[in-house]
Amino acid sequence: MIRTRVWGENFHDRLNHICQRNYPTGMHNCIADALRSDEIEVSVSIFEDPEHGLSEENLNNTDVLIWWSHSRNEDVPDEVSQRVQRRVLDGMGFIALHSAHLAKPFRNLMGTGCGLTWREANEKERLWVVDPTHPIAEGIGRYFELEEEEMYGEHFDIPAPDELVFISWFEGGEVFRSGCTFKRGRGKIFYFRPGHEMYPTYHDKNVQRVISNAVKWAKPTSNERPNYWANVPPMEPLKKPITVFE
């Protein structure tokens, strides 16, 4: 089982009547309910929990952390953000959704400002699969569409992704790198753009499939952990000299 934790602000979910209508039990629970399966075990944490639900114990029992945030990015204490960052470097997967591009752990892991352009208008988003061989795109087809979403546009101030899985096109003409992977230390990171709180995006089956695929991709490996501080003996001498030229 992949131990997955969905973290949400639970701010708009409580105070915005449109968000409440779209997600009666909260965005975090909508995402969590869609993920639960024979392969994925899901826990939920929110901003109001003790230590924001991100204690050492919780993180040590998490294989993949999914993060949605917006209005309270700066309210997450640096200590908690750094705790998440250390766990990612140690092998925990991290999936940043929508406006979590400005979440402290994501910015710390990227090492850039992670800014972008945006337009809050209900317009169609078409997400094109640009790497059909990638496991995160499994079962999606050439593209899928969301009839109503917020626009995010370039330039997106992130490092060049290790892999680009999706590119979004919007009715206003903009494009955006909307599905990006990164590796930091032993951890794998996926940024996925859709998910504005004013739209029922996380009920979409394709969005749910992408996030589920991403969890399976981002899970920690079982490879032996390198011991970087080991005092290793010298390599065995060669049995015979190498002849470069006859």
pLDDT for the residue 232? 78
- Does residue 170 belong to any structural domain of this protein? no
| CATH code of the domain in which 16 resides | 3.40.50.880
Query: What total of structural domains would you count in the chain?
Result: 1
pLDDT for the residue 246? 59
- Does residue 58 belong to any structural domain of this protein? yes
- Does residue 180 belong to any structural domain of this protein? yes
For residue 210, what are the domain limits?
A: 2-112+176-218
pLDDT for the residue 10? 87
Sheet harboring 163-170: ordered strands across? 40-46, 2-8, 64-68, 93-97, 187-192, 175-184, 163-170, 117-129, 143-153
The model's confidence at residue 245, banded by pLDDT at 50, 70 and 90, is low
Q: What is the pLDDT of residues 73-91, one digit of tens each?
A: 888 999 999 999 999 999 9
Q: What percent of the chain has a predicted confidence (pLDDT) above 90?
A: 83
Q: What is the pLDDT of residues 50-77, one digit of tens each?
A: 999 999 999 999 999 999 999 888 889 9
pLDDT for the residue 56? 97
- Does residue 123 belong to any structural domain of this protein? no
pLDDT for the residue 151? 96
Nearest-10 crossing angle of helices 205-218, 27-35: 70
- Does residue 129 belong to any structural domain of this protein? no
- Does residue 192 belong to any structural domain of this protein? yes
Residue 113 has pLDDT above 80, yes or no: yes
pTM, 2 dp: 0.92
- Does residue 107 belong to any structural domain of this protein? yes
- Does residue 207 belong to any structural domain of this protein? yes
pLDDT for the residue 117? 97
